[in-house]
Amino acid sequence: MTTSTTPRVCRGIGEFRTALAERLAAVPGEASLGLVPTMGALHEGHAHLVRLAREENAVVAVSVFVNPLQFGPDEDLERYPRTLEADLELLARCGADLVFAPAVEQMYPDGEPLVRVTAGPLGAVLDGASRPGHFDGALTVVNKLLNITAPPGPVPFRAYFGEKDAQQLLLVRRMVADFDLPVTVRPVPIVRDADGLALSSRNRYLDAGQRHAALVLPATLRALAAGELDLDAARARIDAEDQVRLDYLVVVDPRTLAPVAPAPGTLALVAAHVGSTRLIDNLAL
Amino acid sequence: MTTSTTPRVCRGIGEFRTALAERLAAVPGEASLGLVPTMGALHEGHAHLVRLAREENAVVAVSVFVNPLQFGPDEDLERYPRTLEADLELLARCGADLVFAPAVEQMYPDGEPLVRVTAGPLGAVLDGASRPGHFDGALTVVNKLLNITAPPGPVPFRAYFGEKDAQQLLLVRRMVADFDLPVTVRPVPIVRDADGLALSSRNRYLDAGQRHAALVLPATLRALAAGELDLDAARARIDAEDQVRLDYLVVVDPRTLAPVAPAPGTLALVAAHVGSTRLIDNLAL
């Protein structure tokens, strides 16, 4: 049992790779590896990812890295919460074995990387339209993390991503296929607070009034899914909420992100600013 | 000894990976893997790559794939020579174990990949300026080939690239560092015909007069290296040659491709059209 001990924290790439190899060598014949890439500021949504990884793998590693590449110049890189002590407590409870928490200089020793991943057309719409370069930066670091973590050939390797970042999940799947990366992508459903708000590290930016206002997002998604509102009415409902500024509310084909009429198998996606905090949510119809 | 037998040809990614694993399992304790990525139409320059790989590795794989992504719309994708039978004879003589020769549909089963590698500023100058998108396409397929080929963790993995494509070599090194790819890049010096022309699959496009005219390229590089010509005079010499249209002649810092004054440790790079054939060459000063 590893569930009660604090996971080992590795700061350097070489140290992390060595620790992974040691842990995997300790479970010969049944070795498997789960990676949960995160930016830290962990909440119960992350805990679900780690617990699923724990159920499915002999060794569980969690990366904690606030990746500058995926933040725009006017975004919240500086104020993004860094809570490593609390993160480690949560990860100990969830049974993570290893935590890879590199400094920026360890991931990008020569400054920002010259060669990068580009997300292409699927990264230019929706969140990619609102956050230019975001998905290029996110895929660039996920590709690095997968390469750093990838275990010896025949060992099953699974990486866990939350469904809340639906566009990111689609793009990671696409990258894994397009790059022939030796990893299985495991999606994990959204975790919500009792009031329906999807868990997010950015929820801690919200004051009480903003948090109440933000509930219009999941409520509108539910009404859309139930057929109680059409898209125009759903948008109007969000627009009517003080303190909430809608970025987009769309229904898309989940494989292409192309807008489609609401129907079973489609996905409703929403993004909005609540105060200065940008939130996203989604619901399968 | 594997040097006298025709290498096994694998068409599918899964078939190639299985064959690699089998060959590596047959040399336990001393397993190592060399990959020589090529576009086929092999010549003695490629043979040098494969022979070096043979000296340094227990298992040698050569990929033969004319990658559409790295050809521009007006380039020679259609007429690029495909000579697999002759390639296999050369590879048998050089002792390659496995040849990975996928169809385009096997490398890009969903059409052109959506998520790609982007070469960044080092891919936008020189050949990248003349061939927009070329290095993005080249790095995208090299990344795939490295991911497809990468052996189990502790097995040394080396990939061999010719120094003739100096900018490509620099970008591959940069990608391996920026992506944390588990491979060692091994550069291999240019091989020249007796008359000094650098070997290239595209030399076979040249008629006798063009081939003679093309000799101005290595001759001018040698004169530049010997200090017999300055850059302006060297450019004028190439411009004076009928049938040769200079694209660029520059002296650069080999780590950054920034133009510098000719000096020891710098690199002279030339690209020119000879008839409709684009040739490149370079020489360390």
ipTM of the complex: 0.93
Tell me, yes or no, whether B164 and B235 share the same domain: no
Tell me, yes or no, whether A110 and A171 share the same domain: yes
Spatial neighbors of A142 by CB under 8 A, at least 6 apart, are A37, A159, A172, A175
Put simply, whether A135 touches B (Cβ < 8 Å) is no
| B33 domain-assigned | yes
The answer to whether B114 touches A174, Cβ cutoff 8 Å, is yes
B114/A178 Cβ within 8 A = yes
| A40 domain-assigned | yes
Distance CA A133, CA A73 (A): 10
What pLDDT is stored for residue B3 in this prediction?
Answer: 47
* Phi, psi at B281, each rounded to 5°: -160, 165
Tell me, yes or no, whether B262 and B133 share the same domain: no
What pLDDT is stored for residue B1 in this prediction?
Answer: 43
pLDDT digits (tens, 9 = 90+) for A137-173: 999 999 999 999 999 768 999 999 999 999 999 999 9
What pLDDT is stored for residue B82 in this prediction?
Answer: 95
User: What six digits make up the tokens of B266?
Assistant: 């710098």
The alpha carbon of A52 is separated from its chain's Cα centroid by a whole number of angstroms, namely 15
A115/B174 Cβ within 8 A = yes
What pLDDT is stored for residue A81 in this prediction?
Answer: 93
* % of chain B exceeding 90 in pLDDT: 95
Determine whether the annotation assigns residue A70 to a binding site.
yes
By Cβ distance, the residue of A122, A148, A151 closest to B114 is A122
* pLDDT over 90 (residue A222): yes
What pLDDT is stored for residue A3 in this prediction?
Answer: 47
Which DSSP letter does residue B183 get?
Answer: -
**DSSP, residue by residue, B149-171:** HPPSTTS-EEEEEETTSHHHHHH
Dihedral through CA B220, CA B222, CA B228, CA B230, nearest 10? 60
Tell me, yes or no, whether A41 and A105 share the same domain: yes
A139/B175 Cβ within 8 A = no
Q: Give the pLDDT band (50/70/90) at residue A248.
A: very high
**How many domains does the structure of chain A reveal?**
2
What pLDDT is stored for residue A146 in this prediction?
Answer: 98
Half-sphere exposure of A100 (CA within 13 A, CB side): 26
B115/A118 Cβ within 8 A = yes
Distance CA B143, CA B183 (A): 11
Q: Give the pLDDT band (50/70/90) at residue A4.
A: low
Given B163, B188, B213, which residue is the final one in a domain?
Answer: B188
Indicate which residue of A46, A48, A212, A273 is catalytic.
A46
B116/A180 Cβ within 8 A = no
Chain A residues in contact with B154 by the CB 8 A cut-off are 21, 152
The answer to whether B26 touches B40, Cβ cutoff 8 Å, is no
Tell me, yes or no, whether A174 and A235 share the same domain: no
pLDDT digits (tens, 9 = 90+) for A93-125: 999 999 999 999 999 999 999 999 999 999 999
Task: Give the pLDDT mean for B67-96.
Answer: 95
**Summary mean pLDDT of chain B:** 95
Put simply, whether B13 touches A (Cβ < 8 Å) is yes
Q: Which of B69, B107, B115 to mutate to test the interface with A (most CBs of A within 10 A)?
A: B115
- CATH code for the domain in which residue A246 is found: 3.30.1300.10
pLDDT digits (tens, 9 = 90+) for B173-195: 999 999 999 999 999 999 999 99
Determine whether the annotation assigns residue A48 to a binding site.
no
| A1 domain-assigned | no
Higher pLDDT, B87 or A4: B87
Put simply, whether A233 touches B (Cβ < 8 Å) is no
Q: Which of B33, B114, B168 to mutate to test the interface with A (most CBs of A within 10 A)?
A: B114
Query: Looking at chain B, which runs of residues are DSSP E strands?
Result: 8-10, 33-38, 59-64, 98-100, 116-118, 157-162, 184-188, 244-252, 267-274, 277-284
| B193 domain-assigned | no
Put simply, whether A13 touches B (Cβ < 8 Å) is yes
pLDDT digits (tens, 9 = 90+) for B232-276: 999 999 999 999 999 999 999 999 999 999 999 999 999 999 999
Tell me, yes or no, whether A208 and A241 share the same domain: yes
Tell me, yes or no, whether B144 and B31 share the same domain: yes
Task: Give the pLDDT mean for A191-202.
Answer: 96
* Phi, psi at A25, each rounded to 5°: -65, -25
| B3 domain-assigned | no
| A275 domain-assigned | yes
B115/A175 Cβ within 8 A = yes
Higher pLDDT, A60 or B151: A60
* pLDDT over 80 (residue A1): no
What pLDDT is stored for residue B4 in this prediction?
Answer: 60
Q: Give the pLDDT band (50/70/90) at residue A43.
A: very high
* Phi, psi at B173, each rounded to 5°: -60, -45
Tell me, yes or no, whether A96 and A167 share the same domain: yes
Tell me, yes or no, whether B182 and B42 share the same domain: yes
Give residue A81's domain range: 8-188
- CA-wise closest residue to B9 among B69, B68, B84: B84
Tell me, yes or no, whether B183 and B235 share the same domain: no
The answer to whether A136 touches A119, Cβ cutoff 8 Å, is yes
pLDDT digits (tens, 9 = 90+) for B35-56: 999 999 999 999 999 999 999 9
* pLDDT over 80 (residue B131): yes
SS (H, E, C) chain A: CCCCCCCEEECCHHHHHHHHHHHHHCCCCCCCEEEEEECCCCCHHHHHHHHHHHHHCCEEEEEECCCHHHCCCCCCCCCCCCCHHHHHHHHHHHCCCEEECCCHHHHCECECCCCEEECHHHHCCCHHHHCCCHHHHHHHHHHHHHHHHCCCCCCCEEEEEECCCHHHHHHHHHHHHHHCCCCEEEEECCCECCCCCECCHHHHHCCHHHHHHHCHHHHHHHHHHCCCCCHHHHHHHHHCCCCEEEEEEEEECCCCCCECCCCCCCEEEEEEEECCEEEEEEEEC
Q: Give the pLDDT band (50/70/90) at residue A29.
A: confident
Tell me, yes or no, whether A74 and A159 share the same domain: yes
| B195 domain-assigned | no
- Angle of the B134-149 helix axis to the A166-179 helix axis, nearest 10: 80
Chain A residues in contact with B123 by the CB 8 A cut-off are 115
> Catalytic site residue B46?
yes
Which DSSP letter does residue B200 get?
Answer: -
Q: Give the pLDDT band (50/70/90) at residue A5.
A: confident
The answer to whether A281 touches A270, Cβ cutoff 8 Å, is yes
Put simply, whether B12 touches A (Cβ < 8 Å) is no
* Greatest pairwise CA separation for chain A in angstroms: 59
What pLDDT is stored for residue A160 in this prediction?
Answer: 98
By Cβ distance, the residue of A113, A122, A180 closest to B13 is A180
**Summary mean pLDDT of chain A:** 95
A114/B178 Cβ within 8 A = yes
Given A188, A210, A243, which residue is the final one in a domain?
Answer: A188
Put simply, whether B175 touches A (Cβ < 8 Å) is yes
Tell me, yes or no, whether B184 and B207 share the same domain: no
Put simply, whether B143 touches A (Cβ < 8 Å) is yes
